[in-house]
A and B are shown apart, each in its own frame.
Chain A
């Protein structure tokens, strides 16, 4: 452990430090937004948004290489693609509810396809694997700053509009009848979800980020009966899953994304077993 701490504080591998900071800070947003996603049951929409992120990353890489736009980091493309996908999916789920399922599936695949084509057209070698499954070597100081800024942008509305968000998640129709602008609140929730997903793309990758968004609240749901305590516990669980996953992946020389997700999945399984045993005895 001491050895790890020395490596963590050492100057020669800053990416490890960055990964830990990003993981811990994003966990707060993951706990809060993930709880809304799980209680509002929009995991599949969140999944589609995550996969569309590849489209943005691909486009950013393509334009950066072909037009020498060195400032154009992949994460900026990811942010734009995630927000665009959130808006599109939000409008579909508001105005074409009957087709929602089909459209989610289509946007999911089209977003990825767009990214793959852009990456194929980008000259030079692009490590697709890293974007899909996460790679902490990708983290930079710039990503840490972007994570801090995005995290605050997500947390502000989550706190300020807490009662409205709670009402829209619990009983959307009643909230609408009380004059709450439910469509706006719903689109805002999807935008918050989109930005939250981008926070962890470097560490977990776009394919598995959805697990880290939904598993901690799913575990927390077994132990809490109030939404704020569910958020608090989800955030703590998310910190535990990401940090222990990062330590394990570093020590055992495994990819970070799958390691974190397997730990989260094991946590979820244990919580189900606990809930079953509890309900059998009480």
Chain B
């Protein structure tokens, strides 16, 4: 009975972090006293200044780093076990842009786990094709990854994450290096995916935050979670520790006045 109770509670909270601290070697903590409950089918965005611990939090959830203190469980399990239920999308700039690989080969990587030898079955190919269709990149299937634009690469990497058939999608800076026109389409698509899986995004793009997620996880050594409706400029300033210029993204500036990072 008791176990049953725990199970239902855990199944609702897919990422549970309690009193977690993390430091590299014996240096000052990157994250301290972090508490977080992330629920099924929720969508949240991790924001914060560079060096504030965004990537560290991401790697802790993926089980690539272990907490110095405290507990973290994902899907009620050790992150190293649970990572198979996560579809992870890295930033495409972290990958070799000239690597000789086709779009299909990249997406198939999402099916790697299934066989010891790493052979892909007919079913794996069908799943990969479905993921590509969902991201509307089926026409790019045989194209070299190196010949794609930034936005196309991003979509290929999301298709790869979807090919994992994940329960949680983890996206690292999905809108970086993507054209504004493509971004709009991208938000719609995330919204659709959110109907069947939880989505956790890392982004420095505050315009992304306001319109597309349920809550914001502000990370700067400590973390604070805000429902999007409550987010104000003051809160952002408190979290970043300094004033941040909120850029209004639905406003087109005169050409050459500034460039987006």
Contact = CB atoms under 8 A, between A and B. Distances in A.
Interface of A: 39, 41, 160-164, 166-167, 169-171, 173-180, 221, 224-227, 229-230
* Highest count of chain B CB atoms <10 Å: which of A177, A224, A225, A230: A177
A39 B112 contact: no
Contacts of B96: 39, 41, 170
A227 B100 contact: yes
Nearest to A185: B118
B101 A170 contact: yes
B117 interface: yes
Nearest to A165: B118
B116 to A, nearest CB: 9
Given A163-B120, A226-B144, A174 B90 contact: yes
B84 A170 contact: no
B106 A170 contact: yes
B113 A163 contact: no
A230 B164 CA distance: 28
B202 to A, nearest CB: 15
B100 A178 contact: no
A178 B144 contact: no
A167 B118 contact: yes
A230 B100 CA distance: 8
Interface string B95-134: 1101111100110111011000111100000000000000
B95 A171 contact: yes
Contacts of B164: 178
A174 B90 CA distance: 8
A280 B120 CA distance: 40
Nearest to B95: A171
A32 to B, nearest CB: 13
B208 to A, nearest CB: 23
A225 B100 contact: yes
B239 interface: no
Contact of B64 (A160, A163, A173, A178): A173
Given A163-B119, A178-B84, A178-B164, A170 B95 contact: yes
A174 B88 contact: yes
Contact of A164 (B86, B90, B105, B112): B112
